Structure 1
Amino acid sequence: MAKKRVLRNPLKAIRAKCLECCGGSPKEVRLCPDISCALHPFRTGTNPFPRRKRKATALPAASETANAPLKPREVQFSLFQD
């Protein structure tokens, strides 16, 4: 009886499924023509849609915003032009 492999990483599980589908050939996985398959973008074992990393300098520190004085906002509510 064959031992079951437990893959905890979803990308590795997708890669294993693609290898199984293509007869175990990594080259065939790369050349896979089935673009209607939901797993096709992930077949190489990498995420084709990586998250963008935020720069640490882009956002002010929480301590800076907590101590900043509040500025009054200008709000205009007008339903009709006078």
Structure 2
Amino acid sequence: MALIGTGKQPDYDENMRVRFAMKDSKTDATVVCTISGEALQDRFSANIDGPLAAFHFSRSEIENAASRLYRDDGKGVSLTNASF
């Protein structure tokens, strides 16, 4: 089962974890995904540009990773450094 991007604006919390929405391509259900602040810093230079800038710059790679790891369990996807 694959996820597709929604293009909706992501947000982030005090730990720089970015939350973003994707859609299940089969059910059209919204799936809430996150990527850790640590992964954004280590992998996408978030410490330089901030979490949202890093997310937007690498959105395609991040969304592809979320789609690859998605399991139809209703729990969404939480990406970390190990996800890449």
Q: TM-score range by the shorter chain?
A: under 0.3
With the length of structure 1 as denominator, give the TM-score of the two structures. 0.24
From the two aligned structures, give the one with the greater helix fraction: 2
Relative contact order (alpha carbons < 8 A, sep ≥ 6): 1 or 2 greater?
A: 2
User: Which protein has the bigger strand share?
Assistant: 2
Larger radius of gyration: 1
